[in-house]
Amino acid sequence: MYISNYYLIFQCYPPIHTLNKNCMNISIEKKKFSEAVHIVARFAQRKITTLPALSSILIIAGDDGIKMRATNLETGIDFKLKGECTEKGVVAISALLLQQIASSLTQEGKIILEHIGDIVSITSGTSKSSIKTTPYDDFPSIPFPESSKNRIVLPGSILRSLFTTIAPCASSSTVRPELSSIYLSIEGGILTAVATDSFRLAEKKVPLTNKGIQGKFLIPAKNALDIAQALPNEDIIMSFDEHQCAFISNDGMLVSRLTNAVYPDYRQIIPKESVVEAIVLRKDFENALKRTIIFSDLFQKIRINFDPKKNLFSFFTRNADIGESIETLPARISGSALELSFNHRYLSAVLSLTGSESISILAVGIGRPLIIKGVGDTSLLYLVSPMNQ
């Protein structure tokens, strides 16, 4: 219930200029303060070369409590924190500076921020520091998705793990913006997240409680990672329109720009049938992979082999300068014998995507991608393209 209240409050947020400008007095618990600064500072621009307001954190003390805001024009945050407000006001302080102060705070107790003229004094216990503020007139407003129909509720912890596991599979190059984004689609009560860098593809599904909503959008993977770090564990509202998406919780709101591009129809590259399947223990797979890749060459090539007769699955690497290594692990293999080469980084990436005890590896043939799934984990589908030789 409280969430939806917040949503309303945000919509009729009092404009900054009605607040008292050059006078503010608030006191916050040190621990709360430093937590908030660490979360919010991530959203400020890291380079100080452009507009100073963008590399600052805006602290607002108003009727509805104390808030911190930051944006780098890709993502934005509006974070609520508990504290006492004796005098309302607004101030912008360099995010880097606040971060350094916050990480140096020790002991329990409160911290008092006082704004007089263009100086903010921070008093904590016996120490007092005065900081020059940056002009906040230039601080941009944080846009909110226009239509409120596209809203889903899900636990923040689930979304966080979804974003952090799948985002590394997106492309780091910005040449194709759609590939450096995570594709999220909501259909039939299931949230599907897909990321690919055109060499491998990861698809993960999460069931939702409210079923009626449909929609799809692309969120830049970099932004998704930033947002994931700031998401709380409890339920959040995810709301989106054509250009923006927002994540609303009791702690505040996070927004991100969306990628405005068409995502390739990835479903058609997922092979429908397979010629061989191997089921191996995750622990075996992980250890064997770790040992074998010591010997991998410049191209990070690793060869895998399915042996259905002996029920063995093996890894092989060779480096002309160091030597070679072969690891064989017991597996349940059904189908025909096959040998394929991969980039080992793409194989080990699957381990962070699924938590299941054993994994199933399906191959379609030479030159065709490999499918990896967690046994008993239907939420994940991972596709790796083989190497050319």
DSSP letter string over 283-327?
A: HHHHHHHHHHGGG--TT-EEEEEEETTTTEEEEEEEETTTEEEEE
Question: How near is the Cβ of 144 to another protein at its closest, in Å?
Answer: 9
By CB under 8 A, name the one of 18, 86, 121, 198 that touches another protein. Answer: 198
Q: Are 71 and 77 in contact (CB under 8 A)?
A: yes
By CB under 8 A, name the one of 298, 309, 320, 378 that touches another protein. Answer: 298
Bridge-based pairing state of the strands 127-132 and 190-196: unpaired
Nearer to another protein, 76 or 374 (CB): 76
By CB under 8 A, name the one of 165, 317, 343, 358 that touches another protein. Answer: 343
By CB under 8 A, name the one of 230, 369, 373, 379 that touches another protein. Answer: 369
Question: How near is the Cβ of 220 to another protein at its closest, in Å?
Answer: 9
Contacts 24+ apart (CB under 8 A), 19-23: 19/60, 19/61, 19/62, 19/88, 19/89, 19/90, 20/87, 20/88, 20/89, 21/89, 21/90, 22/89, 22/115, 22/116, 22/117, 22/118, 23/87, 23/89, 23/115, 23/116
By CB under 8 A, name the one of 31, 128, 132, 243 that touches another protein. Answer: 243
Nearer to another protein, 308 or 369 (CB): 369
By CB under 8 A, name the one of 90, 92, 288, 383 that touches another protein. Answer: 383
Amino acid making up residue 294? I
By CB under 8 A, name the one of 70, 113, 142, 353 that touches another protein. Answer: 142
Question: How near is the Cβ of 49 to another protein at its closest, in Å?
Answer: 8
Is residue 268 near another protein by the rule CB under 8 A? yes
How far is the C-alpha of 176 from the C-alpha of 221, rounded, in Å? Answer: 12
Nearer to another protein, 183 or 346 (CB): 346
Stretch that binds another protein, among 91-99, 191-199, 226-234, 287-295 (CB under 8 A): 191-199
Number of residues that bind another protein (CB under 8 A): 48
Tokens for 347?
A: 């194989």
Tokens for 136?
A: 């906040």
By CB under 8 A, name the one of 27, 192, 259, 274 that touches another protein. Answer: 259
Amino acid making up residue 67? K
Is residue 12 near another protein by the rule CB under 8 A? no
Q: Are 74 and 142 in contact (CB under 8 A)?
A: no
Dihedral class, residue 33 (left if φ above 0, else alpha if ψ from -120 to 50, else beta): alpha
- Tally of residues, the chain: 389
Is residue 344 near another protein by the rule CB under 8 A? no
Is residue 74 near another protein by the rule CB under 8 A? yes
Question: How near is the Cβ of 267 to another protein at its closest, in Å?
Answer: 9
Q: Single out the residue of 249, 266, 214, 224 nearest to residue 81, CA to CA.
A: 249
Stretch that binds another protein, among 35-43, 84-92, 134-142, 228-236 (CB under 8 A): 134-142
DSSP 357: S
Is residue 125 near another protein by the rule CB under 8 A? no
Stretch that binds another protein, among 17-25, 69-77, 80-88, 110-118 (CB under 8 A): 69-77
User: For another protein, what does the binding mask look like between residues 30 and 59, x meaning CB under 8 A?
Assistant: --------------------xxx-x-----
Dihedral class, residue 300 (left if φ above 0, else alpha if ψ from -120 to 50, else beta): left
Nearer to another protein, 30 or 257 (CB): 257
Is residue 216 near another protein by the rule CB under 8 A? no
How far is the C-alpha of 234 from the C-alpha of 106, rounded, in Å? Answer: 28
Which residues are at the interface with another protein (CB under 8 A)?
50-52, 54, 71, 73-74, 76, 138, 140-143, 173-175, 177-178, 196, 198-201, 242-244, 257, 259-261, 264-265, 268-269, 298-299, 301, 342-343, 346, 367, 369, 383, 385-389
